[in-house]
Amino acid sequence: MYSAGTTFKLKPGNYADYKKAHDELWPEMAEAMRVNEVNMVIYHYHDRLFLYVTAPSQEHMARSHRGPTADRWAAYMATMMETDEEGKSIVEELEEAFAFGSFKTE
């Protein structure tokens, strides 16, 4: 099983819009994640978001976020999140510090 944790920062005052976008997740994005067996949860703390995701493999995760709809979604999210010089959302991968139970890979 593939799992990953990431963190990113919202632009000030954008949490309500970010939350609404995910509460009304585009059906095409939901379907891409569903068929690729992606499970995801995002937590909010002040201006910071923490995402945890699992999928059968890293390729499943990649497939669920590939294509024109995923590109449009990423551009939409970049309007609410801190971005780099190219306008892409800054997403930082988190190092796994501990795993237990079904999350433990060894």
C-alpha 2/C-alpha 52 separation (Å) is 11
Catalytic, out of 22, 44, 60, 65: 22
Burial classification of residue 92, based on how many CB atoms lie within 10 Å of its CB (0-12 exposed, 13-18 middle, 19 or more buried): exposed
C-alpha 21/C-alpha 36 separation (Å) is 21
- Report the 10 Å Cβ neighbour count for 84: 10
Does 60 participate in catalysis according to the annotation? no
| Tokens encoding 29 | 């994005």
Q: Enumerate the active-site residues.
A: 22
